[in-house]
Amino acid sequence: MPQSGTPTPAAGVTFGLFTPIVQPINLQAWEDIAGPDELASVAVSAEALGFDFVTVGDHAALAEDESAYYGSARFFDPVATIGFLAARTRRLRFATHVYQLPLRSPLITAKAFATLDVLSDGRIIAGFGVGRRPYEAQAARVRFAERGAVADEYLQAVLKLWSGQPASQQSRFVEMDGLVCRPRPVQRPRPPVWVGGDRFVGLRRALDLGDAWTPWALTPDQVAGFLARAAQHRGGLPPGFRVVVPIAPLGGRAPRGEPAPPRTTPGARAAQACLQLLKRWRLAGATDFIVDLPSPSQAALTEAMAWFSSDVLSHVEHTAPPDGAATPHP
């Protein structure tokens, strides 16, 4: 096992797109009225341009005051959205970023993701998190202070249920005895599990139960520090462990409804700056990236996606999943 805080190098990196329309992060006017055709067009373009995956967030509802802060409460359901987009694409993968584990029974979560994995032919990335909004936990009758413990036990149960074999668990928040959940996911041994979180506990959960950690609002130095701390505690990081981080090479969007940062015009100078940013992140331990691009219009978004494909991806050791992304059955 490696003794450093840097994940084991993989054969290239993957790049996903922070999907517009489905989540009101710095929402543009065209997105708030966009329908299935516009959404499918974004996914089809992402696939054609070499992106490996697209992301879908998860908020069932926003509080009234927070909805006004965002400008919209228009979050699409991640399971329904992925099912729709999977039917319109062939290679593209789909990551929930992130699906809130404590809000739903692990039986519902296991069944939904397994079914998606079967119907998409193994193109699901199960990104899980605990949630940050007390009112969402309250609506689901989950104590906000206990949501981390709930998430841990629910994820343990989901992993057992994905085996397709009788699953049992007797713990504080889960009681099941000999339950069989089928169909099994197509991917073996299971879909990749990404765990979100900007605190060390999120990285701990990812190392204990998942395959990747996906922080959202940390700097390269902060990520490197967390990884070094984890490696010191554990005698190294597991081989193949991934660290997935967001980048906004043209300014992108802004989290939590804040004003968008200044936008950079696509071109050679922006591409060089992006390549330097990727290098810095790679040195900090990042293995994969979610690309956040500005979308003042759908045409401008498509232009930015094409720029990233031609001017950035072509200069990176980029590993796209093979056709028919599912891992073969044993």
For every residue of 101-163, DSSP letters joined together read GGGS-HHHHHHHHHHHHHHTTS-EEEEEE--S-HHHHHHTT--GGGHHHHHHHHHHHHHHHTT
Average the pLDDT over 118-134 and give the result.
97
The percent of residues in the chain predicted with pLDDT above 90, rounded, is 79
Q: Which pLDDT does position 318 carry in this prediction?
A: 74
> Is residue 28's pLDDT more than 90?
no
Would you state the structure tokens that stand for residue 18, as one six-digit string?
């922070």
Inter-residue contact 104 to 173 (CB < 8 Å)? no
Inter-residue contact 130 to 148 (CB < 8 Å)? yes
**What does each C-alpha distance from 240 to 11, 136, 286 come to in angstroms?**
10, 34, 12
**pLDDT tens, position by position, 252-272:** 665 444 566 677 899 999 999
> Could you tell me how far CA 160 lies from the centroid of its own chain?
21
Inter-residue contact 197 to 97 (CB < 8 Å)? no
Would you state the structure tokens that stand for residue 181, as one six-digit string?
């959940």
CA–CA dist 86, 135 (Å, integer): 31
| Confidence band of 7 (pLDDT split at 50, 70, 90) | low
Mean pLDDT of the chain: 90
Inter-residue contact 123 to 326 (CB < 8 Å)? yes
> Could you tell me how far CA 184 lies from the centroid of its own chain?
21
CA–CA dist 165, 230 (Å, integer): 33
**pLDDT tens, position by position, 289-330:** 999 998 889 999 999 999 999 999 999 977 654 333 333 333
Would you state the structure tokens that stand for residue 224, as one six-digit string?
């490197």
Closest C-alpha to 257, from 62, 53, 15: 62
Give the phi and the psi of residue 111 in degrees, each rounded to 5. Answer: -65, -45
**pLDDT tens, position by position, 203-255:** 999 999 999 999 999 999 999 999 999 999 999 999 999 999 999 999 866 54
Check residue 239 and report its DSSP letter.
T
Q: Which of the residue ranges 41-50, 75-84, 321-330 would you say has the lowest mean pLDDT?
A: 321-330
What is the distance between the terminal CA atoms of the chain, rounded to a whole angstrom? Answer: 26
Q: Across the strands, what pairs with 55?
A: 18, 95
Closest C-alpha to 106, from 157, 150, 141: 157
Q: Which pLDDT does position 328 carry in this prediction?
A: 31
Q: Which pLDDT does position 261 carry in this prediction?
A: 64
Query: Yes or no: is domain 15-315 CATH 3.20.20.30?
Result: yes
CA–CA dist 97, 103 (Å, integer): 15
Average the pLDDT over 35-55 and give the result.
97
Tokens 């293995």, residue located:
287
The sign of the dihedral angle between the CA atoms of 296, 51, 237, 170 is: positive
CA–CA dist 230, 201 (Å, integer): 10
> Is residue 180's pLDDT more than 70?
yes
CA–CA dist 36, 29 (Å, integer): 16
Average the pLDDT over 194-199 and give the result.
97
Inter-residue contact 287 to 318 (CB < 8 Å)? no
